[in-house]
Amino acid sequence: MTETLFISDLHLDRERPDIQGLFNRFLQDRAAQADTLYILGDLFEFWIGDDDPRQEHAETLKALHQLTSKGIPVYFLPGNRDFLVGQSFLDQSGCQLLDDYALIDLYGRQVLLMHGDTLCTDDVEYQQLRGMMRNPEWQAQFLAQPYTDRLQQVLSLRKKSSEAIAAKGEIITDVNDRAVRDTMIQYGVHELIHGHTHRPAIHHFSINEEAYTRYVLGDWYEQGSLLSCTRLGCELTAMSID
């Protein structure tokens, strides 16, 4: 039986070669047999422009292109770490870009895809930062700077972000239930798939006595989180590095 695969929050980085290896094997084996692969953001630890010279990024793009060249569609929905991907990224990888809110037909069911960060409405500070960085003028000014300057800014921001997350606690950095319900009602769906929070789970709940399901993808820090969907349903699993 064919399947559609969903992953997010791999945070690929040279400091974690085991995860890079797991991802490469996943593309060569499981993904190569799938109907479609969806990557819901934060594929990279950070992406600060298509002119990024790091070798590990080039290897990832090559591995993705090897998959897409076999006729397997790969869709990429940007996350908060890699929203600056551009046309060169798409050309080199063969990926197709999705909007922040993407409706898809999943074996006859309408499903909404998101990275998930816009659902964390309790984290007001983050939402303000996100709004600034998603502004086209800010992005143009940032990308116009030399690569080394951009890199230093991002490394500094990562350090501040880690400290801020540690201080906020899980409730603030998780999704807001009202935001989830409002978003699903707005888009007219009963199923939502997202990542970002690094809290893998399948949540079943009801709105006006109707059944709803929210699938949360996990990260790829210790293992590889994977949601596999067929006509019979969806299964959330974890792939081992070994």
> Is there a contact between 78 and 41 (Cβ–Cβ < 8 Å)?
yes
3-class state of residue 227 by DSSP:
strand
- The mean pLDDT of 174-188, rounded to a whole number, is 96
CA distance 209 to 129: 37
**97, exposed or middle or buried, with CB in 10 Å at 0-12, 13-18, 19+?**
middle
Q: What is the pLDDT of residue 163?
A: 65
Q: What is the pLDDT of residue 173?
A: 74
CA distance 198 to 218: 5
Amino acid residing at 66: Q
3-class state of residue 161 by DSSP:
helix
**What percent helix, strand, coil does the chain show, rounded to 5?**
40, 25, 40
pLDDT at 169 over 80: no
Question: Phi and psi dihedrals of 95, rounded to 5?
Answer: -75, 155
Sign of CA dihedral 36, 42, 46, 51: positive
Average model confidence (pLDDT) across the chain: 93
Q: What is the pLDDT of residue 158?
A: 81
> Is there a contact between 211 and 204 (Cβ–Cβ < 8 Å)?
yes
* Tokens of residue 81, six digits: 């770490």
* Tokens of residue 105, six digits: 């037909």
CA distance 203 to 88: 37
Nearest Cα neighbor of 220 from 13, 56, 50 is 13
CA distance 193 to 115: 8
Q: What is the pLDDT of residue 190?
A: 98
% of the chain exceeding 70 in pLDDT: 95
CA 5, chain centre distance (Å): 13
Extended beta strands in 66-128, E state: 74-76, 96-97, 102-106, 109-113
Nearest Cα neighbor of 180 from 161, 196, 157, 163 is 196
Q: What is the dihedral of CA 225, 230, 232, 235, to 10 degrees?
A: 0
Q: Name which of 58-62, 163-167, 193-197 the model is least confident about.
A: 163-167
Q: pLDDT, tens digit, for every residue of 71-127?
A: 999 999 999 999 999 999 999 999 999 999 999 999 999 999 999 999 999 999 999
Q: What is the pLDDT of residue 140?
A: 96
3-class state of residue 225 by DSSP:
strand
Structural domains in the chain, CATH included, are: 4-120+178-239 (3.60.21.10)
Question: Where on the phi/psi map is residue 221: left (φ > 0), alpha (ψ -120 to 50), or beta?
Answer: alpha
Q: What is the reported pTM?
A: 0.94
Q: pLDDT, tens digit, for every residue of 154-167?
A: 999 887 776 666 65
